[in-house]
Structure 1
Amino acid sequence: MAVVRPKGSALARSVPVRRLHLDTSHCAGHNKWSKVKHIKGPRDEARAKMFMKYGMMIRIAVKEGGPNPDFNATLAQILEQCRGHNMPKASIDAAIKNAEKAKTGTQHTYEARGPGGFALLIEVLTDNNTRTNQEIKHLLKTNGGVLSDGARHTFDRKGVVVAEAGSVSLEEALELAIEAGAEDVRETEEEEERPMLQFICSQAELSSVRAWLEGRGGIHVVSSGLEFVSHTPLLLERSQLEAASVLLEALNDCPDVLRVWDNIQAEH
């Protein structure tokens, strides 16, 4: 689930051509919830939900561009993410096979605000717009949120290359990002709590940044694709952060929700 990525104060560093910001507080997922009670369910259940979401994303990609990833770049990116998260091959193949037979759904994105005023983008796939609309409104209302036009302006559409951190330090990651042509690098963790690095770049430079990192950079790239990346971070108080955690969990548990992005800043 794509939950999108918080920001904070940056350590700027000058280079001959550009200025790139290494922001150690742009940490997603686990890190920003480090001081919040862990409310997620058992890991197996969480993984099952994640695989279900990927199945929905495969369905959309196949409907739009066909079942052959060689001729469908969007599908190829999604399949790469599936493999990076160890989704069983049988499940991937079944999702592709069943996609063409599945009902055509409507995909769209809700703009909202959560507790403390943080921005939310909620991407859904549904075969019943009325049902989904009511469900999203209910989840927001009961968890301190509200639909809010304009929340999208808090985010930019960016290329994101996700790589294993391994023994690469943040300082080394900065050097790699500069050489690769990325705009930003962030430290995060994936579902198994492995340390990861996110290299943020323009949409047009996604392929070249990935190619450089895999080739000359010598690091293991897990996936790459387009994400909504917030440019306006918001630091929440402890009580607001706890409420935000509950809201995001409820949204991600909704069967019609594909991905949720937020602009919550990680705690230091």
Structure 2
Amino acid sequence: MFGGVLLIRGLLPRYCQRVTSSSVLLSVELCSVHPQLARLAQSPQWALQSGRAVHQCSVMCAGHNKWSKVKHVKGPKDAARSRMFLKLSMMIRIAVREGGPNPDFNAHLANLVEQCRSKNMPKASIEAAIKGADKSKALCSLYEARGPGASMLLIEVLTDNNTRTFQEVKHLLHKHGGMMCDGARHSFERKGVVLASGEGVSMDRALELAIEAGAEDVRETEDEEEKPLLQFVCEVSELRGVRSTLEDLGIPTLSAGLEFVPHNPALLPLDQLEAASRLLEILNDYPDVVRVWDNIQAAN
């Protein structure tokens, strides 16, 4: 009998997910393994062990559920954070090549460094991106493309193999309703853009602030958490002055930089908006892509 109990304990983990606390069902399951185990299943010792087995299985399930939450909630957030830091590092390398490694003489780089700090990017990562710009063999390119509904896209990439990246981006575009095309850049202008919080600021007040700060235009937008933001558009040479004036007027700014601002919007219906959103997501997830500009607007 003592040996039989040990045998049951040895088999217990193997059957803990198949059995219940009912001794009748236990007997049916165990008969297929050994006839003597069916009689042992009716004993008080087995009833005690079966309860322990069910408890052990519930603990295993709880651990599995906890891991599922970590995998599906924390994992994507960490991955998105890593991608954001990677893109910022790429933007820093481009800025260093265009204007040098000293933020005091490179306004674009200074704005990027400030943006990195606002995103809690480690200081060591920022310094590594600045120092590694000259050593990197990657080159910056700007691809022109067409998206769903005749929308226009500008895709900035940083790659050490332009032929490979061009072909892979071309494949992604073709697979998701887009294509490479010439002339897309004519739908955009290179401008300075100051991003500020729009909470508690009406559009009429935002227009007044734009005039006082010397900006050409102001646009409403939202961040990832659907919080209102304001984009103050100005000439490239006026970027630092516009930001400084907005700060003096009591408007906290979030970032400032050079962007391609569309002047010929493409109005898309809901179905094309969803397709375009998916295409932009795919392009931004590609490792060599730094940024994607578009002229998409929702049709009324």
| 1:126 corresponds to 2:153 | no
TM-score by length of 2: 0.70
Query: Are residue 265 (structure 1) and residue 297 (structure 2) matched?
Result: yes
Summarize deviations over 1:236-258 as a string: whole Å, max 9, x none.
Answer: 12111111111111110111101
Structure 1 stretch displaced more, 162-171 or 88-97 = 88-97
Of the three residues 191, 215, 238, the one matched with 1:158 is 191
Q: What is the CA–CA distance in structure 2 between the aligned matches of 1:165 and 1:200, rounded to whole Å?
A: 15
Q: 1:64: how far off? A: 4.2
The answer on 1:59 being equivalent to 2:88 is: no
Q: Tell me the residue number matched to 2:255.
A: 223
Query: Which amino acid in 2 is paired with 1:69?
Result: P
Match of 1:76 among 110, 113, 126: 110
| Residue of structure 1 aligned with 2:83, choices 49, 58, 61 | 49
Determine if the alignment matches structure 1 residue 114 to structure 2 residue 134.
no
Task: Trace 1:1-268 onto structure 2 (pairs within 5 A).
Answer: 42-101=76-135, 103-215=136-248, 217-266=249-298
Compute the TM-score of the two structures, normalised by the length of structure 1. Answer: 0.78
**Deviation readout 1:149-195 (Å, 9 max, x if unpaired):** 01110011111111122322222111111211212111222344432
- Kept after mapping to 1: 8 A contact 2:172/2:282: yes
Paired residues of 2:247 and 2:253 also in contact (CA < 8 A): yes
AA partner of residue 179 (structure 2): V
Residue-pair matches, total: 226
- Residues in 2 aligned to 1:86 and 1:189: alpha-carbon distance in whole angstroms: 20
Shift in alpha-carbon separation, 1:139–1:199, aligned structure 2, 3 A: same
Q: Higher relative contact order at CA 8 Å, sep ≥6: structure 1 or structure 2?
A: 1
Q: For 2:159, give the aligned amino acid.
A: T
Change (3 A) 1:64 1:206: closer
Deviations 1:101-123 (Å, cap 9, x if unpaired)? 3x221111111101111000001
Report deviation, 1:99: 3.2
Partners in 2 of 1:148 and 1:123 — Cα distance?
14
2 CA distance for matches of 1:200 and 1:122? 20
Tell me, in whole angstroms, the C-alpha distance in 2 between the residues paired with 1:186 and 1:267.
17
RMSD: 1.9
Q: C-alpha separation between the residues in 2 aligned to 1:185 and 1:127?
A: 37
More helix by share: 2
Identity of aligned residues (%): 67
What secondary structure is seen at the aligned counterpart in 2 of 1:265?
Answer: strand
Moved more, 87-96 or 69-78: 87-96
Query: 1:43 & 1:254 partners in 2: Cα distance?
Result: 17
Shift in Å, 1:265? 0.7
Greater alpha carbon shift after TM alignment, 120-129 vs 162-171: 162-171
Change (3 A) 1:228 1:106: same
Which moved further from structure 2: 119-128 or 179-188? 179-188
- 1:210 and 1:252, CA in 2 relative to 1: closer, same or farther beyond 3 A? same
List runs of 5+ in structure 1 lacking aligned partners: 1-40
- CA 1:82–1:192 in 2, change beyond 3 Å: closer, same or farther? farther
| Kept after mapping to 1: 8 A contact 2:192/2:236 | yes
Aligned to 1:31: none
| Post-superposition offset of 1:97 | 3.6
Tell me, in whole angstroms, the C-alpha distance in 1 between the residues paired with 2:216 and 2:132.
39
CA distance in 2, matches of 1:46, 1:207: 30
Q: Does the residue aligned with 1:156 lie in a helix, a strand or coil?
A: strand
